[in-house]
Structure 1
Amino acid sequence: MRNVPLGSTGLTVPNVVAGMMRIDDKTDDEVRALYGAAREAGIDFFDHADIYARALHSAEERFATALGLSAAERGEIRLQTKAGIVREGPFFDFSYEHLVTSVEASLRSLRTDYIDVLLLHRPDALVEPAEVARAFDHLESTGKVRAFGVSNHTPRQIDLLRTAVRQPLVANQVQLSVAHAPLVTQGLAANMEGTTQSAVLDGGGLIEYCRINGITLQAWSPLQGTRGHGGVFLGNPDYADLNAVIDALAEKYGVPPLAIAVAWITRHPAGMQVVLGTTSPGRVTDAALGSDLRLTRAEWYALVRAAGYVVP
């Protein structure tokens, strides 16, 4: 398992992350098997959120109840969670009260004294940076959170937070896969007429911005294709051209196709983390094989073209 820097913390983290969004209905044995497969593959980073699963904090609680980690084993892993979405609204709340209350509930649910990384879960249009800064200062000074980041934020939204927040923002979790890659492909078609790919959206330049500012990108839904088709792209006939290239590369490297989908993301020099959403131990093992697999430039761009993007 290849490690990458976690923002400006000086820490390194695996470039494949085990996402715990879908474990709510799993048995203790199933959660243990998923956790064991991740650890065996070299993954010691587990991604949560307060709103995941059926009830608020229930996936976090399911994780802690099933595993019953000792203090020593808790120290061997990193737990990341998110706060800021009010699911019942739905709306967003980055107020001091909401962020602190949510983190305290996550700590109880996860049965831990600290969160390694807290992310603001999607942007709050009504954000008051000073409120976020007050929450972060409290959570850091009390030892409840060790590092902070965001998810799905644009460069200017991050800049706005940084006008008040004292702590470095070390991560930005964004949707990215080879079949959903506007963050990558907009730049490829820059200054080209006649293609919507060249349109600079709010996230334009986000990858470059995060590289310049030492923010680790975390790719969620790494198997999702949303360009007019939706669903997982692996084995999907709507993505026949893409799967043909993936399958050929999988045969060449002797790995499952899932590893190639992961390797497309981990090949990027930004040093991204891939956040898996699977609850299958076997698929975690397969995905981890893409951690160290370094595609050639020609292979990486062939996948971009096969996904339907313009490579001039």
Structure 2
Amino acid sequence: MKKINVVNGPSNVSAIIMGCMRMPALSVDQAEKMIHTAVDLGINFFDHATCYGVKGEAEKRFGDAFKQSGIKREDVIIQSKCGICPERSEFDWTKENILASVDQILSRLQMDYLDALLLHRPDLIFEPEQVAEAFDILQKNGKVRHFGVSNVPPMTLELLKKFVKQPLVFNQLQFSLEQSQLIDQTLYVNNLTTERSIDRDNGTLDYCRLHDITIQAWSPLQHGFFKGCFVDSPDFPEMNKVLGELGEKYGVSKTAIAIAWILRHPAKMQAIAGTMNPEHLKEICDATKVELTHNEWYKLYLSSGKTLP
């Protein structure tokens, strides 16, 4: 498994993250098997969120399964996110909600601390002073070691950094071979012939690289917003043709090549694998064995329907 060192964050973390959003579909024993499968494959990073499952069911299932797994807490990186409150139909970055959320997360996980806490999608009326106070308390009492955000643009990050003392070391963003808007605008800048010239995220990718913020790519195999997997989809014949050719060359699956395309980017991203299928997880991890060439990376990019100006 390829490992990376996060600047100002945890070191020796796996390039593949196991996302636990779908874990409520498993029994405790099945969840334990998935955790062991992940660890055996070299994954030491697990991602959660308070909104995964009804009333934090994903964290609860993971906590029960991890407790009986026998795996040492210090051997894994546990991350969760707070801020999305579906029961109230709002996003909430208030001090009270952040502190209460962490206590609830730790209770469900049956753990004493989080390796990382991310603020999950921007609260449109957040007060950065409150976020800073919450982070200080969580760091002081040892409940959270590192901090970051999810789906947050550069100027919101700048506003947070004006008040927050702790480094913001992660930004979790949607990115895949098909959903490549993080990089499209740079290629099509000043081009009125395509909507890809529209700056949808204010240079978030370059901002994160400039400020040593590790990007975690969510839905790395999805097209659209959870429309389904593009691998083997008849809607993407050219992309799957190229994925198949490169998979045959490197002796891995199309899935592995699609993930390898993300990991080939010099931003040194992590990719979040949300599958609860052990065999599919193994395919995804095979991506870390592949180093695509410069030409192959572009060939895949163009196969997804993009064009060079």
Q: TM-score range by the shorter chain?
A: over 0.9
The whole-number CA distance in structure 1 between the counterparts of 2:126 and 2:263 is: 32
Partner of 1:212: 210
Shift, 1:292, TM fit: 3.3
Which runs of structure 2 are paired with 1:181-192 in the superposition (5 Å)?
181-192=180-191
The whole-number CA distance in structure 2 between the counterparts of 1:210 and 1:311 is: 25
The whole-number CA distance in structure 2 between the counterparts of 1:136 and 1:71 is: 31
Partner of 2:238: 241
Unmatched tracts of structure 2, length 5 or more: none
The whole-number CA distance in structure 2 between the counterparts of 1:292 and 1:22 is: 26
Alpha-carbon contact 1:150-1:169 (below 8 Å) kept = yes
Q: Which has the higher contact order (CA 8 A, sep 6+)?
A: 1
The whole-number CA distance in structure 2 between the counterparts of 1:311 and 1:5 is: 33
Partner of 2:52: 52
The whole-number CA distance in structure 1 between the counterparts of 2:27 and 2:10 is: 36
Give the secondary structure class of the aligned counterpart of 1:138.
helix
Alpha-carbon contact 2:32-2:69 (below 8 Å) kept = no
Aligned residues: CA RMSD: 1.5
| 31 and 263 in structure 1: CA distance in 2 versus 1, 3 angstrom threshold | same
Partner of 1:119: 118
How many correspondences in the alignment? 309
Partner of 1:290: 287
Shift, 1:37, TM fit: 1.4
Give the secondary structure class of the aligned counterpart of 2:237.
helix
Please list the CA deviations of residues 114-144 of structure 1 after superposition, one character each: whole Å capped at 9, or x if unmatched.
0000000011111100000000000000000
The whole-number CA distance in structure 2 between the counterparts of 1:113 and 1:231 is: 36
1:135 aligns with 2:134: yes
Give the secondary structure class of the aligned counterpart of 1:68.
helix
Alpha-carbon contact 1:5-1:271 (below 8 Å) kept = no
Give the secondary structure class of the aligned counterpart of 1:289.
helix
Q: Percent identity?
A: 41
Partner of 2:221: 223
Alpha-carbon contact 2:23-2:61 (below 8 Å) kept = yes
Shift, 1:162, TM fit: 0.7
- Give the ranges of 4+ consecutive aligned residues of structure 1 lying more than 3 Å apart after TM superposition: 69-72
Partner of 2:199: 200
Shift, 1:199, TM fit: 1.2
Alpha-carbon contact 1:148-1:167 (below 8 Å) kept = yes
Q: Which amino acid aligns with 1:22?
A: R
Give the secondary structure class of the aligned counterpart of 2:160.
helix
The whole-number CA distance in structure 2 between the counterparts of 1:172 and 1:261 is: 21
Alpha-carbon contact 1:189-1:310 (below 8 Å) kept = no
Unmatched tracts of structure 1, length 5 or more: none
Alpha-carbon contact 1:94-1:127 (below 8 Å) kept = yes
Partner of 1:30: 30
1:96 aligns with 2:111: no
Partner of 1:259: 256
- Taking structure 1 as the reference length, what is the TM-score of the superposition? 0.96
Which runs of structure 2 are paired with 1:4-15 in the superposition (5 Å)?
4-9=4-9, 11-15=11-15
Partner of 2:106: 107
Give the secondary structure class of the aligned counterpart of 1:290.
helix
